[in-house]
């Protein structure tokens, strides 16, 4: 599980994060979801992490972070 938080009032599109392994990650939680009264800015499902080292981790992916919110990603098995 990866928890990514954005404490700024600016949406971050194309934000790259390092992850422990490559593969498909599912967006498990998005605090900006319409279900919580948000604008629904997020990733809409599955993201793919590639073997591209970043932030001291062996894999990475780019995602959209909602403003003043966070997302939780889980590796799909």
In the chain, pLDDT over 90 holds for what percent of residues? 96
**Whole-number average pLDDT of the chain:** 96
pTM over 0.85: yes
For the segment 53-65, the average pLDDT, to the nearest whole number, is 97
| Residue range 11-21, pLDDT digits in tens | 999 999 999 99
| CA–CA dist 26, 46 (Å, integer) | 5
CA distances from 40 to 19, 20, 30, 64 (A): 24, 27, 8, 11
| CA–CA dist 23, 8 (Å, integer) | 28
């Amino acid at each position: 599980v990866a928890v990514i938080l954005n404490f700024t009032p600016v949406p971050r599109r194309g934000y790259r994060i390092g992850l422990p392994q490559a593969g498909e990650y599912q967006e498990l939680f998005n605090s900006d979801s319409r279900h919580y009264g948000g604008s629904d800015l997020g990733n809409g499902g599955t993201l793919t992490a590639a073997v591209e080292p970043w932030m001291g981790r062996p894999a990475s992916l780019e995602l959209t972070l909602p403003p003043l919110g966070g997302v939780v990603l889980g590796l799909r098995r």
